[in-house]
Amino acid sequence: MAGDDCVRKRQSGSTATSKTPENEETQRRPESERSFQNSSNGWVDVDHVITRKMQLIAEAEQLKPAFMKEVDSHFTEFVNSLVAKSALLDSSSPASLFPASCAEKELHKAKNSRAPPEHGKIFTARRSLLDELFEVSHIRTIYHMFIALLIVFILSTLLVDFIDEGRLVLGFDLLVFVFGKFPVVFCAWLCMFSATVVIPYNLFVWWAQGYSSSSHRAIHSFFYGMLFTLFQIAGLGFGPTYVAVAYALPPASRFIVILEQVRLVMKAHSFIRENVPRVLSSVKDKSGTVHIPRISQYLYFLFAPTLIYRDNYPRNPTIRWGYVATKFAQVLGSLFYAYYIFVRLCIPQFRNSSQETFNLRGLVLCIFNSILPGVLILFLVFFAFLHCWLNAFAEMLRFADRMFYKDWWNSTSYANYYRTWNVVVHDWLYYYAYRDFLWFFGKKFRAAAMLSVFTVSAAVHEYVLSICFGFFYPVLFCLFTCFGVVFNFTLNDRRKGPFWNVIMWTSLFLGQGVIICLYSQEWYARQYCPTENVSACLFPWDNQLWAWLACFAVQEEWKLNGTDHSGSVLHPFLRMD
Residue range 35-46, pLDDT digits in tens: 444 444 445 566
DSSP one-letter string for 6-59: HHHHHHHHHHHHHHHHHHHHHHHS-HHHHHHGGGGGT---HHHHHHHHHHHHHH
| Range scoring the smallest mean pLDDT among 220-229, 300-309, 532-541 | 532-541
Burial class (CB in 10 A: 0-12, 13-18, 19+), 65: exposed
For residue 276, what are the CA distances in angstroms to 148, 232, 272, 327?
52, 17, 6, 36
pLDDT tens-digit profile of 106-142?
A: 434 433 334 444 467 888 888 999 988 988 888 889 8
User: In this structure, which amino acid lies at residue 209?
Assistant: Q
What pLDDT, on a 0 to 100 scale, did the predictor assign at position 562? 45
- Catalytic member of 48, 426, 461, 565: 461
pLDDT of residue 552: 47
Question: Which of the residue ranges 16-30, 50-64, 70-84, 496-510 has the most confident prediction, judged by mean pLDDT?
Answer: 496-510
Instruction: Give the orientation angle of helix 137-165 with respect to helix 321-341, to 10 degrees.
Output: 50
* Cβ proximity of 144 and 152 under 8 Å: no
Instruction: Compute how many other C-beta atoms are within 10 angstroms of the C-beta atom of residue 384.
Output: 20
* Averaged pLDDT, 322-332: 94
Q: Residues 409-442: pLDDT tens digits?
A: 988 888 888 889 899 999 999 998 888 888 888 7
Average pLDDT for 497-520:
88
Measured over the CA atoms of residue 461, residue 463, residue 466 and residue 470, the dihedral's sign is negative
pLDDT score for 381:
92
Residue 500 in contact with residue 410, Cβ under 8 Å?
Answer: no
Question: Helix and strand tally (H, E) in the chain?
Answer: 25, 0
Residue pair 323/395 in contact (Cβ under 8 Å)? The answer is: yes
**Higher-confidence residue: 35 or 78?**
78
- Percent residues over pLDDT 90 in the chain: 25
Mean pLDDT of all residues belonging to the chain: 76
pLDDT at 228: 93
Q: How far apart are CA 428 and CA 121, in angstroms?
A: 10
CA Rg value for the chain: 33
Q: How far is CA 174 from the centre of its chain?
A: 26
The pLDDT score that the predictor gives to residue 81 is 62
What local confidence, expressed as pLDDT, does residue 78 receive?
A: 60
**Measured CA distances, 75 to 69, 80, 81, 87, 127 (Å):** 10, 9, 10, 18, 17
- pLDDT band for position 346 (50/70/90)? confident
Of 415 and 227, the structure prediction assigns the larger pLDDT to 227
Handedness of CA 362, 363, 365, 370 (dihedral sign): positive
8 Å CB contact between 471 and 522: yes
Separation between Cα atoms, residue 196 and residue 193, nearest integer Å: 5
Q: Is 387 a catalytic residue?
A: no
Domains in the chain: boundaries: 171-303
Q: How confident is the model at residue 259 (pLDDT cuts 50, 70, 90)?
A: very high
